[in-house]
Amino acid sequence: MTTITQSGVTALPVKKAARAEGMPFIHQVSTMTARAFRNSLRVPFAIIPGVLISIFFLFIYTGTLGDAAGFLPGLRGQSYLGFILPLSVLSAALSGSSLAGDGIVRDIENGYFDKLMLTPANRAALLLGHMISGAFLLVIQTGIVISVAVLMGLEPATGIGGVLALMGISLLLGTAFAGLPVGVALMSGSSAATSGASFLFFPLSFLTASFVPLNLLSGWIETAAYLNPVTYVIEAGRALLNTGWDGDVILRGFSSILLMAAIFFTFALFALRVRMKRK
Amino acid sequence: MNGEIIGEGLIKQFGNYTAVSGVSFKVETGEVFGFLGPNGAGKSTTVAMLTTLALPTQGRALVGGHDVVTEAADVRRIAGVALQEIGLDPIMKSMELLTIQGQLFGMSRREARDRAMELLTIVKLDEPGVMDRRVGKYSGGMRRRLDLALALVHRPRILFLDEPTTGLDPASRRDVWNEVRRLNREYGMTIFLTTQYLEEADELAQRIAIIDKGQIAIEGKPADLKAALGGESINLTFDTPETAMQAQDAVQHMADRTQLDRNVLRLYRPKAAEIVSPVVSVLNDGGFSPSALTLSAPTLDDVFLQVTGQRYEEDAGTGPVAETFARRGKSADKKAS
């Protein structure tokens, strides 16, 4: 069909369109990523509260519990700041994870998604743009939170490598979490449902060894914390900041993230198929 | 080059509700085809099927020779679509939207930017003050024109316009009309246009189909459809429907056909102007005094009334209705004077 169009008609300016099999996938992704990133910067209020709240938590926890840390058996000789920072980073990852879902649901609601669907663009590229841009912003947010902690006197046990590893954890965790709101966005097309989905993470971040070490928990909350994959992610972060390169703990943390990523992405892909299916 | 659009027995059901119930038509290459009907008649659903956004429950459609179900990607490549719901991201700028669209259709960034600039000039959105603004700040007319530009990015040979002027002020509507004519004339683009405005279909379409309750009620050239109604009409407005009905008895014998629409009586016959004065004297003798008398050529409105048994305006919502009425009135007055 391409050849017919190209050779058959010279009077009509269709040759560019006829040739187009769409741009390479990687270009589509980078184009859509740049666009999503630019959009986020235009609405800074979507990002700023997440950062502020993470920093706020950091101040509150260290302010109220910091001095008590010396009395906690599991924490003796360790920095409470290093202990609590992973929780703050987690909260930054949480708020960052909602950006992708928000961007997608906005596209669906204002009809732009349909416009993109009418192009030969790869459907996955339309989602990946938002997700990668969200991940970028999340890294920036995490960087800000960690910088504040350093200003507050944080001295990570694993040095700069550990800080980078912590940012890596935040990036992976935020991206894994993003699967859920993205899936809900695709499934429902509703911004209310999408922001609701992010709240599901709230218990995950508290049914864990939030404020005291895991071995001080007891009863049902101990069980919940042991079952909660987020626990192991926080433990990995704490090891990096307070104790050093503890291979087992860090590996457990990363495996937990992969487990969550597998679950949430399976859901997101399923939702994508539902959305793309012509009705 | 194939710019045909063919629908064969298209049916679309949503659960128990049948939105489109067996629609067949053929649009020739380079033709402007008007798909006319009130809200909820099935126009947008038909467009959704033709543009690969929805699957037909039954039936088949070919756009430019490509099956909309099995060759959706080919259809997307040769067809441009401006949907009724304008799909623009409000926090982006026109240049960004157009460039991304062009790139996704396979243009280089440079090509896409050139094409974007070209289109912005065409739809008259190329002033710096306009280009710097986010499209969320645009007026309805500007948004509509940008949406049209987006549909044209990949130089489609077939263009679908789903109610392109709904909600526009008369001046913007004119602009869109001129652009539709130009695209058709200069590029030989096949244009499938849905509208709820009779006047719009009459102005733009070489052929129209009237769709009502999911089915095509009648199809043909606007002039032929009007001619089939039989000549011009004298329109007499009375104070009450009852008076109009009595007047109908008095003058019925003077016309080929009469039609009563509330308090308006229409007398149809070729060269109706010649009988104006006898009609008036018969009415005077009978003691009827019409509050207005106009003379008009048949309109698509009359065609619609004829084929669906109801006056078009009753179904078509509020805003546009008054305008259709006003315009009809105006053109009729001019002819009468």
pLDDT at B23: 93
Picking from A32-46, A124-138, B103-117, B310-324, which range would have the lowest pLDDT averaged per residue? B310-324
pLDDT at A1: 39
Q: Is the pLDDT of residue B333 over 50?
A: no
Q: Does A72 touch chain B (CB under 8 A)?
A: no
> Quick one: average pLDDT of A193-201?
83
Q: Is the pLDDT of residue B263 over 50?
A: yes
Is A23 in Cβ contact with B103 (below 8 Å)? yes
Cβ atoms within 10 A of the Cβ of B322, count?
10
ipTM of the complex: 0.78
pLDDT at B282: 92
Cα four-point dihedral sign A137, A142, A147, A148: positive
Q: Does A221 touch chain B (CB under 8 A)?
A: no
pLDDT level of residue B313 (50, 70, 90 thresholds):
low
pLDDT at A22: 61
> Quick one: average pLDDT of B213-241?
84
pLDDT at A15: 39
User: Which residue among A1, A43, A112 places its CB closest to the CB of B74?
Assistant: A1
pLDDT at A10: 35
Per-residue pLDDT tens digits for B130-175: 999 999 999 888 998 899 999 999 999 999 999 988 878 888 888 8
Is A42 in Cβ contact with B150 (below 8 Å)? no
User: Which residue among B107, B150, B187 places its CB closest to the CB of A115?
Assistant: B150
> Quick one: average pLDDT of A207-232?
84
User: Which residue among A17, A31, A120 places its CB closest to the CB of B156?
Assistant: A17
pLDDT at A12: 38
Alpha carbon separation from B294 to A94, B116, B233, B304 (Å, rounded): 70, 48, 8, 20
Interface residues of chain B, partner chain A, Cβ below 8 Å: 1, 51-55, 72-74, 76-78, 81, 83, 85-92, 96, 100-101, 103-107, 111, 115, 134, 150, 154-157, 187-188
Is A111 in Cβ contact with B106 (below 8 Å)? no
Q: Which chain A residues are closer than 8 Å to B188 by Cβ?
A: 12
Cα four-point dihedral sign A40, A41, A42, A44: positive
pLDDT level of residue B311 (50, 70, 90 thresholds):
low
Q: Is the pLDDT of residue B191 over 90?
A: yes
Q: How many CB pairs under 8 A join A and B?
A: 111
Sorted by where each starts, the structural domains of chain B and their CATH numbers stand as 5-220 (3.40.50.300), 226-336 (3.30.70)
